[in-house]
Amino acid sequence: MNRPILPSRRGFLAGSVGLAGGLRLASAHATTPNLQTGFFGPHQSGIATPVLPHTYFAALDIVTDKSAQLAALMQSWTKAGAELTQGAELTLTFGFGQTLFVKDGVDRFGLAHQRPEAFVDLPKFVGDQLVPERTGGDLSVQACGQTPQATLDAVRTLLRLAEGVAQVRWVQAGFVTLPPGKETPRNLMGFKDGSFNVSIDDPAAMARNVWVGEEGPPWMRGGSYVVARPTRIALEHWDKMKLAFQEQTVGRQKESGAVIGEKDEFAPLNLDATDSDGNTLVAENAHVRLAAPQNNDGAEILRRSYSYDNGVSMVAERWPPWRHAMELDVGLLFMCYQRDPRSGFIKIFDKMSKFDMMNQFVTPIGGGMFACPAGVAEGRYLAQELFEAVGAS
């Protein structure tokens, strides 16, 4: 049995991994000149970098009790991450779950005092149907790239490097169809998704809403908190709704993406607009209203979601005629990045989970929150400050 070897040219010819083939194909795509997917820098890749059409997200459970092994894994992942992304249109984003710091009340690795104040547990939201096997995890790894194979191959390599230290807990692949130019992509509900979003091209907005600043521990400064929640969409119901009802639910027009009552997708959101009878144009429980910063003390999060397709699953109805059927198990891998989850996702979603008209069509089924450390400077490794702080490196 061979030890894993990183899929460098040399590793490939030496022979043991067998992933290099796929990876080299991925790198055959010319790198877009202004697409900085390089591994090193103040921030991890995959957050402020442009969205790529495919993703593969994996959450891992740690199976060692030795913090030195964890630190070694971070070193190994850093080396691999740099090699995998070199010349490839591929981003990698690593994160830490709450259970890395404290699990079942136990400070497994002496890291409890390093858990950031902002890194609270996600509450149980109304409507959550989280499947334990698809929820949580001590570590997260996300690859984004041009093909499913490139992202799968990258994570597969990282999982192999973790053998004996961590093992996969749940995964979710995702995709987004990127229209030409800068058009907003559509999700599986057929609506544009992401018309209003924090701009990755606006450093001030990113600093305000996405990047952890001086308030965080050193290893998180320049990092961000990601919420990643696979959320099933009941297309079998949604597809039968009339267009007008779908648009009321979202608060936007389906074809143009414009807010109801507006012509332009990017027209400012006027929540007070009324029709001639004085009724608000955007319903009180419309998705876009409840998500709006003006309804959430200015809270803004960087959304970066992907559609997912997990095949079919059995649905058995509990009322006559007790229909049993396979239905499409598809949805949205909802993802968002924020500087502080308490004033970000938790603030916004607490209200949405209670009132959003869209809730009758969507059900969060798993996922969690992960602290994505700052980017890595060349010569250093991922979250080195964290492990040095506890003498584990």
Closest separation in Å from C-beta 239 to its own copies: 6
Q: Does 158 bind its own copies (CB under 8 A)?
A: no
**Nearest to its own copies of 56, 349 (CB atom):** 56
Site for its own copies in 192-231 (CB under 8 A): 192
Q: Which stretch binds its own copies (CB under 8 A): 7-15, 67-75, 100-108, 269-277?
A: 7-15
Closest separation in Å from C-beta 173 to its own copies: 5
Dihedral, 193, 196, 199, 205 alpha carbons, nearest 10 = -140
Closest separation in Å from C-beta 187 to its own copies: 9
Q: Which helix (H) or strand (E) holds 388?
A: helix 384-389
Contact 145, 26 (CB under 8 A): yes
219: left (phi over 0), alpha (psi -120 to 50) or beta: alpha
Q: Does 238 bind its own copies (CB under 8 A)?
A: yes
Show the CA angle centred on residue 303, arms to residues 301 and 308, nearest 5°. Answer: 150
- Selected binder of its own copies within 33, 105, 132, 180 (CB under 8 A): 180
Alpha-carbon distance values, 73 to 62, 77, 79, 170, 381 (Å): 11, 6, 10, 19, 10
Euclidean distance between CA atoms 370 and 368, whole angstroms: 7
Helices 20-27 and 148-161, interaxial angle, to 10°? 130
Closest separation in Å from C-beta 310 to its own copies: 7
Q: Does 268 bind its own copies (CB under 8 A)?
A: no
- Selected binder of its own copies within 18, 110, 164, 203 (CB under 8 A): 18
Q: What are phi and psi of 5, to 5 degrees?
A: -120, 140
Q: Which stretch binds its own copies (CB under 8 A): 124-132, 144-152, 206-214, 219-227?
A: 144-152
Q: Concatenated DSSP letters for 334-368?
A: EEEEES-TTTTHHHHHHHHHHH-GGGGTEEE-SBE
**Nearest to its own copies of 205, 315 (CB atom):** 315
Q: Which residues bind its own copies (CB under 8 A)?
A: 1-2, 4, 12-22, 25-26, 28, 53, 56, 133, 147-150, 152-153, 156, 159-160, 167-173, 175-177, 179-180, 185-186, 188-192, 235, 238-244, 246, 254-255, 307, 309-312, 325-328, 330
